[in-house]
Structure 1
Amino acid sequence: METHFANLEGARTTLAKERVLEDLRQLARDAESLLQATASDVSEKAREARERLAAALERARATCAEFEEGVVTRAKEAARKADTVIRQHPYESIALAFGIGLLIGALIARK
């Protein structure tokens, strides 16, 4: 029986990218809050800082959107590959799923 784990590293990379993406989203929310909080400050330095922050926020949003699009595309491709492997090797897939379930059941029963 041949196993197909070539994409495990890609899955780890995807998870790391998703964490970065969520961090970028949080940064954008924080930046928006900061912009709203400093909206009443009319000094020249505050205005320049708000403009720079707004520009950086737009760049971060664009990067986030590109990043998200790439993650979605790779996830769909990984799902397509998994589907192909399962269809080509149905009995091996069932045996592997059974084995993993048995292992998880044994680990849970030990506790």
Structure 2
Amino acid sequence: MDDMTMVQKDKLMGDLRTVISDAEEVLRMTASEAGESAADLRGRVQARMHQAKDELRHLQEAAVAKAKAAGHAADDFVHDNPWKSIGIAAGIGLVVGLLVSRR
């Protein structure tokens, strides 16, 4: 998965959390409203919020599982190719050092 997709997924998760929070606030503010239609609307909104929370949890669990898989793959690569890993780390360190020293 590329970085742009991860950024979009993170933004989507943040936006969904905001919407859920706002909906919960609206439900608290309208709790004193009387009437059958208001109660029905609150019930439908609460059901959809619970569904959105479940979907958000599943999305988060999938993202964590993918991150763990990537971590395990990196760990396996380092164990299988220790000298390549040292070379790559040294190269990255050299580039970062050059960039920092320029400032």
**TM-score of the superposed pair, with normalisation by structure 2:** 0.85
Could you tell me which residue of structure 2 aligns to residue 46 of structure 1?
Answer: 38
Q: 1:19 aligns with which of 11, 36, 59?
A: 11
Deviation of residue 77 (structure 1)? 0.7
SS of the counterpart of 1:55? helix
Deviation of residue 79 (structure 1)? 0.6
Question: Does residue 84 of structure 2 align to residue 92 of structure 1?
Answer: yes
Alignment of 1:20-35 (within 5 A): 20-35=12-27
Deviation of residue 11 (structure 1)? 4.7
Could you tell me which residue of structure 1 aligns to residue 93 of structure 2?
Answer: 101
Residues 71-104 of structure 1: per-residue CA shift (max 9 Å, x gap): 1111111111000111111111111111112212
Question: Does residue 65 of structure 2 align to residue 59 of structure 1?
Answer: no
| Distance across 2 between alignment mates of 1:15 and 1:21 | 10
The runs of at least 4 consecutive aligned structure 1 residues that moved more than 3 Å come to none
SS of the counterpart of 1:35? helix
SS of the counterpart of 1:41? coil
Query: RCO higher in 1 or 2 (8 Å CA, sep ≥ 6)?
Result: 1
Q: Aligned-pair RMSD on alpha carbons?
A: 1.7
Aligned length: 102
| Distance across 1 between alignment mates of 2:2 and 2:11 | 12
| Distance across 2 between alignment mates of 1:101 and 1:43 | 66
| Deviation larger for 42-51 or 98-107 | 42-51
Question: Identity of paired residues, percent?
Answer: 35
Runs of at least 5 residues in structure 2 that lack an aligned partner in the other structure: none
